[in-house]
Structure 1
Amino acid sequence: MRILVLNWRDLSHPAAGGAEVYTEQVLRRWARAGHEVTLFASSVDGKPAAEIVDGYRVVRAGNRFTVYREARRWWDRYGRGRFDVVVDETNTVPFLAHEWVDDGARTIALVHQTCEEIWHHNAPPLAAHLGRYRLEPEWLRRLGGAPILAVSDSTRDALARFGARDVTVVPEGYEPPADLPAVAKEDRPTAVFCGRMVSYKRPWDVLRAVELARREIPGLRLWMIGGGPLLDKLRAAAPPGVEFLGRVSERVKHDRMARAHVHLSTSVREGWGLVVTEAAALGTPTIAYDVPGLRDSTRAAGGVVVPPEPQALARWLCELLPARMAEPFAPVPYGGAHGWDDVAATLLTAVELHARTPDRRSHEDQLRGADVPLGPDAGRVPGVAA
C-alpha cells in the first residue's frame, strides 16, 4: 500500500518522545515489507526538508503550530492521488485529515493519549481552561468522524467520552535491550523514579511518598532519574536518602532500574507508560497511580496501581518493597507489551482492513481474526526530492 502518516514530530525532533519511537518502529517495518511509506512532520533545525530514514520518506515543513496547515498544503500540491491511506497521528491537536482528504484515500487516526488534565500543568491558567474545556473537546469531537486506533483501553475510553464510536485498540510495543543488565538487586531498600522533572509527572508526590515511607523503612533510598525544569527545585527540597542523577544514558538508566526493588510512576495521565514496561522487562515492578495509561501498562506488567495520592503510594511502598527484597520480581517478557514486529503487523492489518472496507463501522472484530500479509512492493512518492 501507499501510506501517508501525519505527526507533528518525527524521531529527530528535540521534543520527540514515546509516540515518535512507536511511529519509527512501525514505519521502518512497513517499509521493509515493501510498502511505500511517507511521514509528514514539522521542520527540525539541521535536518533536510525531505530524506529517506530506514526505508521510509520523511517530509518536513512548518513548526509546532503551522505543521497542520503545511500538511494540507503539501497534500494539495503533491499528495492528492498518491496514497491509499492517510494516518492522522494525533498528539493533542489532530490534523483532521478526514475533513480534507478528498481523492478517495481512506483516513484513520492513531491516538496515543488525550491531554485533558495535562493542560493545567503545561499552560497558563486561561490557556489551560480554554484548551481543556473548549479546544480539545472540539478537536476530538471532529476527530470522531473518522475511525480511530488507540494504544490502550484508557485512551479508547477517553475518546468515547468525547463522542468517538469507531475506536480499535492496538498494542503498545517495546524492544528490550540487547544485553539486559546482569546485576544484583541492592542490599539496601531502593526505589527508582524515571521521567522528566515536570509538573504533570508529579515528582513532588514521589518525594513526599518516600519521606512518609522512611518512617517505617528508615534505610529507604530513592533514585530520581531524568532532567527537566524542576530538577534544581526538587534537589533542593529532597528529604534524606534521595539521589538525583539527572539525564543519563540508556545504559545507566537500565542499570539503575535493574538494581532497584520497586519503580514508582505518578503521572497525571499517559498514553501507556513505557517506563513501566522498561522496568518490568528488567525485573523491577511498578507502583503507579491509578490514572489513564499507567493503569494499563502497570497491570500488564504485573505491578500495582494505587489511588493518586502520596499517602497511598507510601503505604504500598512500605508493603511491597520488603516483599520484593525477600522474593525478587521475575522479568516480564517485553515488559507486558508486545514485540515491535507484532505491533507493526497488527497496526498494518487494521489499516489495510479500513482501506478495503467501504463503510465506517468498527473493525475491531475483523482485526482480531484477520490474517493479512504485509503486502507487495510499491513505488516512490513524487513531489519531493530524496
Structure 2
Amino acid sequence: MRILILNWRDLSHPAAGGAEVYTEQVLRRWAAAGHQVTLFAAAVAGRPADELRDGYRVIRAGSRFTVYREARRWWQRHGRGRFDVVIDETNTVPFQAHEWVDDGARTIALVHQTCEEIWHINAPPILAHLGRHRLEPNWLRRLGGSPILAVSASTRDALARFGAYDVTVVPEGYEPPNPLPRPVKEEQPTAVFCGRMVSYKRPGDVIRAVGLAAERIPGLRLWMVGGGPLLDRLAATAPAHVTFHGRVTEAEKHDLMARAHVHLAASVREGWGLVVTEAAALGTPTVAYDVPGLRDSTTAAGGVVVPARPEAMAARLAELLPGWQRQPPAPLPYGGAHSWDTVADTLLAAVRQHARVPRGPMRVAA
C-alpha cells in the first residue's frame, strides 16, 4: 500500500508527545513490512525538509498554524495520484483531508483525543470560548463525514457527540523497558506523579490529595516528576512531604515509578494516558480521575478511577495504599496496552477495511 500520514508534528519536533511515539512505532513497522509510507508534518529547526527515517519518508513544511495549508499545497503539487490512503492524524485541528483529496485515494482520520475542556485551561477566555463552542465542534462535525479510528472508547464516545458515526477503536501500544527495572519498593509509603507541570494535568490536585491522605497514612510522601511552566510555583509552595525531581531521563523516571507504591493522575482529559500504562508495566498501580482517556488506560491497567476531586482521590488512596504497600502488584505485561507489533497490524487491518484495499501477503516486522 501507498500510505500518506498527516500530523502537525513528527517525533523530532520539540513538542512531540505520545501521539508522535504512536505514529513512529506504527510507521516504521509498516515500512518494514514493505509498504510505501510518507509522513507530512510541520518544519523543525535543524531538520531537513525531506528525510528518510526508519524506512519511511518525512516531509516537513509550515508551522504549528500553517502546516495544514502546506499539506494541501504539497498534495496538489506532489501527492496527487501517488497514494492509496491518506490518514488525517488529528491533534485538535484536523487537516480535513477528505475535503481536498480528489484523486480517488481513500481518507481516514486517526484521533487520539478531543480538546473540549482543555480549551478553557490552555487558551485566553475569548479564544477558549470560541474554540470550545464554535471551532472544535465545526472541525469535528466536518471530520465525521469520513471514517475515523480512535485510540480509546472515550475518544470514540466524544466523537459521537459531535456527529461521527463511523468510528473504530484501535489499540494503544507500549514497549516496556528491557530489562524491566525491578528495584525494591520504598519502605516509606510513597506516591508518584509523572507528567508535565501544566494546568490541564492538575498537579496541584495531586499535591492536595496526598496532603489529605497523609492525615490517615503516617509518613506518606509524594514524588513529582516532570518539568513545565508550573514547576517553580508549585515547588515554592509545596509542603515538606513533596519532592520535585523536575525533568528526568527515561531510566530515572522508570526507577522512580517502580520504587513508588502508587501512581496518581489527575488530568482534565487524555487520549489514553500512557503514563498509567508505564506505571502498571513496572508494578505500580494508578489512582486516577475518572475522565476521558484516563478511565480507559487505568481500567485496562487494573487501577482505580475516582471522581475528579482531590478529596475523592485522597479517600481511595488512604484506603488502598496500605494494601499495595504490604503486597505490591506484579508488573502487568504491556501495562494493559498491547505490543507495537499488534498495534501496527490491527491498525493496518482497520485501514484496509475502511479503504477497501485488497489484502495481500504481509508480515509486520519490528
TM normalised by structure 1 equals 0.93
Is residue 2–residue 35 contact of structure 1 (8 Å, CA) maintained in 2? yes
Equivalent residue number for residue 25 of structure 1? 25
Q: Distance in 1 between matches of 2:310 and 2:362?
A: 47
Q: Displaced runs of 4+ in structure 1, greater than 2 A?
A: 371-376
Q: Distance in 2 between matches of 1:128 and 1:239?
A: 32
**1:180 corresponds to which letter in structure 2?**
L
Query: Partners of 2:240 and 2:362 in 1: how far apart?
Result: 54
Q: Which runs of 5+ in 2 are unaligned?
A: none
* Match status 1:16 vs 2:16: yes
Verify the 8 A CA contact 2:182 2:282 in the aligned structure 1.
no
| Cα distance in 1, alignment partners of residues 237 and 52 from structure 2 | 47
- What SS is found at the alignment partner of 1:245? strand
Letter in 2 for 1:40: F
Question: CA, structure 1 residues 292+254, in 2 after alignment: closer, same or farther (shift >3 Å)?
Answer: same
1:270-309 aligned within 5 A:
270-309=270-309
The match for 1:325 is 325
Q: What is the match of residue 36 of structure 2?
A: 36
Give the 3 Å change call, closer, same or farther, for CA 209–372 of structure 1 in structure 2: farther
Unaligned runs of 5+ in 1: 359-370, 377-386
Name the stretch that deviates more: 213-222 or 144-153: 213-222
Per-residue CA shift, 1:200-231, capped at 9, x if unaligned? 00001011111111111120010000000000
Query: Equivalent residue for 1:123?
Result: 123
> Where does residue 340 of structure 1 map in the other structure?
340
Q: What amino acid is aligned across from residue 340 of structure 2 in structure 1?
A: W
Q: Which residue of 2 aligns with 1:57?
A: 57
1:182 is displaced (CA, Å) by 2.3
Alignment-mate amino acid for residue 297 of structure 2: S
Partner residue, 2:362: 374
The reply on whether 1:235 has 2:228 as its aligned counterpart is: no
Corresponding residue for 1:47?
47
Structure 2 CA distance for aligned equivalents of residues 284 and 108 of structure 1? 36
SS in 2 for 1:292: coil
Report if aligned partners of 1:345, 1:374 keep a CA contact under 8 Å in 2.
no
Question: Structure 2: how far apart are the matches of 1:372 and 1:26?
Answer: 18
1:374 maps to a residue whose letter is M
Distance 1:69 1:3 in 2: 20
Match in the other structure for 1:150: 150
* d(CA) in 1 for partners of 2:196, 2:72: 33
Could you tell me how far 1:45 is from its partner in structure 2? 0.2
The one-letter amino acid paired with 1:158 is: A
TM-superposed CA distance for 1:375, in Å, is: 7.2
Q: CA offset at residue 268 of structure 1? A: 0.1
Please say if residues 171 and 338 of structure 1, whose CA atoms lie closer than 8 Å, have aligned partners that are also in contact: yes
Change (3 A) 1:204 1:373: farther
- TM superposition shift of 1:373: 4.4
CA contact (8 A) 2:190 2:220 kept: yes
For residue 92 of structure 1, give the secondary structure of its aligned residue in structure 2: coil
Q: Deviations over 1:161-215 (max 9, x none)?
A: 0000000000000000011112110000000000000000000101111111111
Q: Secondary structure at the match of 1:14?
A: coil
Is this contact kept in 2: 1:111–1:151, CA < 8 A?
A: yes
Alpha-carbon distance in structure 2 between the residues aligned to 1:355 and 1:317 = 46
Letter in 2 for 1:73: R
Indicate the SS of the match to 1:352: helix
Give 1:256's aligned amino acid.
Answer: L
Aligned-pair distance for 1:374?
Answer: 2.9
Q: Count residues in correspondence.
A: 364
Q: TM-score, normalised by structure 2?
A: 0.98
Which position in structure 2 is the counterpart of 1:196?
Answer: 196
Structure 1 counterpart SS, 2:104: coil
- Identical amino acids, percent of aligned pairs: 78
Cα distance, 1:357 vs structure 2: 6.7
Q: Distance in 1 between matches of 2:105 and 2:212?
A: 56
Structure 1 91/165 Cα, relative in aligned 2: closer, same or farther at 3 Å?
Answer: same
* One-letter amino acid of the structure 2 residue matched with residue 41 of structure 1: A
SS for the counterpart of 2:275 is helix
- Residue in 2 that maps onto 1:82: 82
Contact 2:192-2:262 within 8 A present in 1 as well? yes
Equivalent residues of 1:280, 1:336 under 8 A apart = yes
Q: Which amino acid aligns with 1:245?
A: H
Seen in structure 2, the aligned counterparts of structure 1 residues 372 and 261 have a Cα distance that, compared at 3 Å, is farther
RMSD (Å) for aligned C-alpha atoms:
1.2
One-letter identity of the residue aligned with 1:141: R
Partner residue, 1:209? 209
